[in-house]
Copies of this chain bind each other. A is one copy, B any other.
Amino acid sequence: MKTAPTAAQAPTPDTVTFATRRSIEQVEEGAELAPRFDANGLITCVTTEADTGEVLMLGYMNEEALQRTIATGEAHYWSRSREVLWHKGATSGLVQRVVEMRIDDDQDAVWLKVSVAGSGASCHVGYHSCFYRKVPVAGDRTHSDKLEFVEREKRFDPVAVYGDAPNPTKL
């Protein structure tokens, strides 16, 4: 005898399924989750801090990362530099709890509003946000065209947290 699912049963990643993309109307105006993964099997994810609206990072998700994020309510990404599924915070403890997830018009990008554990940092360099520098535009460039640091102090010491793991930044 089959039993109906109850609230106590957390969905597993296997139970998160995606609809087939059939029409522009379905994708843009419908209520079915039908994400579009690019040639590398990825969708783009922008992650903001739920409380402040600050953009913390831009990441990428493959199918499994998106399924696990939806199933568990904790942000999972695909690490393009390490080429592994990446449960954000597994190493640093700075887990991102998903407060809300949105998807865009053509369903090739998601927006996570998150609450970050611990020091609240999300950047591997040690800053709160990956976007810790301002680029002067238009008239402001007459004063200086140099990047300006908007965060003065790091939230954590990357060497203490990540040890000698390879830096993901590529030249």
Contacts and interface: CB of A to CB of B under 8 A. Distances in A.
A146 B31 contact: yes
Contacts of A16: 145
Most buried by B among A100, A147, A169: A169
Contact of A44 (B10, B44, B48, B170): B44
Nearest to A110: B135
A171 interface: yes
A149 B44 CA distance: 20
B102 A150 contact: yes
B58 A48 contact: no
A55 B169 contact: no
Interface in A122-144: 123-125, 127, 130-139, 141-142
Interface residues of A, number: 71
Contacts of A5: 142
A106 B149 CA distance: 14
Contacts of A168: 106
B11 A141 contact: yes
A96 to B, nearest CB: 12
A159 interface: no
B24 A171 contact: yes
A7 B140 CA distance: 9
